[in-house]
Chain A
Amino acid sequence: MSATQEIEFRDAIRDAMSEEMRRDKRVMLIGEEVAEYNGAYKVSRGMLDEFGPRRVIDTPISESGFAGMAIGAAMLGLRPVVEFMSWSFSLVAADPILNNAPKMLFMSGGQFGCPIVFRGNDGAGGQLGSTHSWCVEGLFSNVPGIKIVIPSTPADAKALMKTAIRDDDPVFFMESERLLGMKGDVPVGDDVLLKFGQACVRRTGTDCTLASWGRPVHFCMEAAEELAKEGISCEVIDLRTIRPLDIGSIERSVRKTSNLVIVDQSWSFGSPGSEVAAQIHQRCFDDLDNHVHRVHTEDVPAPYAFNLEQEYLPNTRKICEAVRSATYNA
Chain B
Amino acid sequence: MPTPTTNENSAHDVHGGLPIPRRATNRPVPNAELLRGWYRELVLIREFEIRCMQAYQDKKIGGFCHVYIGQEAVAVGCVAALKPQDPLVTAYRDHGHALARGMTSRACMAEMFGRVDGCAKGKGGSMHMFDREHNLFGGHGIVGAQTPLGAGLAFATKYEDEVINNGKSSRVTLCFLGDGALNQGAFHEALNLAGLMNLPVIFVVENNGYSMGTSIHRGTTQSHDLSSKALGYGIDATVIDGMNLLEVYHGMKDVVEKCREKSRPAFVDMRCYRYKGHSMSDPRKYRTRDEEAIWEQGDPIGTFEKFILDQGAITHDQIKSVQKEVKAEVRDAVEFADNSPVPPLSDLYHDVYREPWGRYTGTSEPLMYGGAMNPPTFRATREGDGLI
Contacts and interface: CB of A to CB of B under 8 A. Distances in A.
Interface of A: 1, 25-26, 28, 54-55, 59-60, 62, 64-78, 95-96, 99-100, 104-113, 115, 144-145, 147, 159, 163, 166-169, 187, 191-202, 204, 244, 246-249, 252
A22 B387 CA distance: 22
Contact of B155 (A25, A69, A104): A69
Q: Most chain-B Cβ atoms within 10 A of its Cβ — which of A1, A75, A96, A99?
A: A75
B217 interface: no
Given A60-B192, A194-B364, A247-B374, A69 B151 contact: yes
B388 interface: yes
B362 A25 contact: no
A202 B148 CA distance: 42
Given A72-B137, A96-B148, A110-B381, A198 B155 contact: no
Given A55-B163, A108-B138, A163 B373 contact: no
Nearest 5 A/B pairs, CB to CB = A72-B152, A68-B148, A65-B189, A109-B120, A196-B358
B345 interface: no
A106 B124 CA distance: 8
Contacts of A75: 137, 149, 152-153, 156
B236 to A, nearest CB: 20
Interface stretch (B127-135, B241-249, B293-301): B127-135
Given A109-B124, A111-B131, A54 B152 contact: no
Contact of A65 (B119, B190, B369): B190
Interface stretch (B9-17, B60-68, B263-271, B346-354): B346-354
B1 interface: no
Contacts of A107: 120, 123-124, 128, 130, 138
Contact of B376 (A62, A199, A244): A244
B359 A195 contact: yes
B385 interface: yes
B354 A105 contact: yes
Contacts of B378: 144
Contacts of B196: 60
Contact of B364 (A26, A109, A193, A246): A193
A109 B123 contact: yes
Interface in B102-147: 118-124, 128, 130-132, 137-138, 140, 142, 145, 147
A68 B124 contact: no
21 contacts: A64-B186, A72-B150, A72-B154, A72-B156, A73-B155, A75-B137, A76-B152, A95-B142, A107-B128, A107-B138, A108-B124, A109-B124, A110-B382, A111-B385, A113-B388, A163-B358, A187-B364, A192-B362, A193-B362, A195-B362, A200-B366
Interface of B: 87, 89, 118-124, 128, 130-132, 137-138, 140, 142, 145, 147-157, 159-160, 162-164, 185-186, 189-190, 192-193, 196, 350-364, 366-369, 372-374, 376, 378, 381-382, 385-388
B107 to A, nearest CB: 10
A246 B153 contact: no
A26 B354 contact: no
A167 B128 contact: no
A201 B366 CA distance: 9
B362 A194 contact: yes
Given A69-B155, A169-B353, A115 B388 contact: yes
Contact of A76 (B87, B148, B356): B87
A181 B382 CA distance: 43
A106 B192 contact: no
Contacts of A77: 156, 160, 388
Given A110-B351, A144-B352, A100 B189 contact: no
B130 A112 contact: yes
Contacts of B149: 68-69, 71-72, 75, 96, 100
Contacts of B351: 105-106, 108-110
A248 B358 contact: no
Given A95-B145, A246-B373, A113 B354 contact: yes
A58 to B, nearest CB: 10
Contacts of B373: 197-198, 246, 248
Contacts of B192: 60, 62, 65
B151 to A, nearest CB: 5
Contact of A54 (B124, B156, B162, B193): B162
Given A73-B159, A248-B374, A106 B364 contact: no
Contacts of B367: 200-202
Contacts of A167: 355, 358-359
Given A107-B123, A201-B367, A246-B373, A73 B152 contact: yes
Nearest to A62: B189
B119 A62 contact: no
B265 to A, nearest CB: 12
B209 to A, nearest CB: 25
Contact of B355 (A26, A64, A70, A168): A168
Contact of A166 (B132, B138, B361): B361
A164 to B, nearest CB: 8
Nearest to A1: B364
A110 B193 contact: no
Q: Most chain-B Cβ atoms within 10 A of its Cβ — which of A100, A106, A192?
A: A106
A65 B354 contact: no
